[in-house]
Amino acid sequence: MLQVGLREANMHFSKYLKMVREGQEVVVTERGTPVAIIKPLIKEESPEDRIKSLEEQGVLRKAVKGKLPLCKPITITGKPISETVMEGREDGF
């Protein structure tokens, strides 16, 4: 891991960026104290590739359409809730 002073890194940034592109990590120091690390990004899998990988590991399963029954709507009888709320407000609650 290469250490470089802040001023040097600022003056020759493209040089150090090239080194990072080649896989090297650069520690930027200010008065001898490390303040930053410049390192290459790890190329991440696309979401589709990640999902496929998790499926292969058995962590995920694709959903199967039509397997789960749909819930029937619930019918509520009685007066509307808004009316009950208004009555409560009138009673001082």
Per-residue pLDDT tens over the stretch 38-87: 999 887 778 888 899 899 999 998 877 766 777 888 888 888 889 989 98
Place of tokens 């199967």: 64
Q: Check pLDDT > 70 for residue 92.
A: yes
Q: Does the reported pTM lie above 0.85?
A: no
Instruction: Confirm or reject CATH 1.10.3470 for domain 2-38, answering yes or no.
Output: no
Express each pLDDT in 7-30 by its tens digit.
Answer: 999 999 999 999 999 999 999 999
Place of tokens 């896989």: 23
H or E segment to which residue 89 belongs: helix 81-90
Burial 23-59 (b: 16+ CB within 10 A, else e): eeebebeeeeeeeeebeeeeeeeeeeeeeeeeeeeee
